[in-house]
Amino acid sequence: MARRYDPERRQRIIDAAIRVVGRAGLAGLSHRTAAAEADVPLGSTTYHFGTLDELMVAALRQANEGFAKVVAARGGPAGPGTDLAAGLAALLGEWLAGDRTGVELEYELYLAALRRPALRPVATEWADDLADRLARHTDPVTARALVALMDGICLQVLLTDAPYDEEYAREVLARVIPRDTVPS
């Protein structure tokens, strides 16, 4: 019997893995649950992803695109002549105002890197990419501090179910940014 050509199968498995994690948490993800969610044979998941870590890496890589898309849609962390703190606070507001499940999923996969070393390079790529973007507007040390602060603000909002306070975020971000930083 000839194999059916299915060029989208790998992507469907990744999308299914993200849905499983969104619904059941990382503990609920397995090759079997991803296959069932994607409506593909179990062998397809193990063919495309030899280990569960490989599947998680692919899911994290795709999930990381959420914030990157918000940044790209705005043309960067801050528009021309925009105060960097205000621009970043607005970005966080847009991201957190979107699908909260997607944001939670990104952080769940991101934090999974603490226990799963295979995920660490992908989590690091995300933080490094954002720090590189921010370093175009300020110095590299401040850029990394801003990434850490933004992560902290997002985690507080997610963990407390508190509404995002853009003015608070702008104020604390501004405290980290040197006063001599000029708007882009």
Q: In terms of residues, how long is the chain?
A: 184
Residue whose entry in the numeric block shows the structure tokens 């998941």: 45
pLDDT on residue 26:
86
The CATH H-level superfamily of 9-61 is Homeodomain-like (1.10.10.60)
Name the packing angle between helices 84-97 and 65-73 (round to 10°). 130
Q: What is the pLDDT of residues 151-162, one digit of tens each?
A: 999 999 999 988
Name the residue ranges covered by the structural domains of the chain: 9-61, 64-176
Pick the CATH number of 64-176 from 3.30.70.20, 3.30.499.10, 3.40.50.980, 1.10.357.10: 1.10.357.10
Checking if the pLDDT of 1 tops 60, the result is no
- DSSP annotation of 161 reads -
Q: Is the pLDDT of residue 127 over 60?
A: yes
Residue pLDDT, tens place only, 47-86: 999 999 999 989 888 887 777 777 777 777 766 667 899 9
Question: What pTM was computed for the model?
Answer: 0.80
pLDDT digits (tens, 9 = 90+) for 3-47: 567 789 999 999 999 999 888 988 899 999 999 999 999 999 999
| Alpha carbon distances (Å) from 82 to 70, 77, 135 | 16, 9, 15
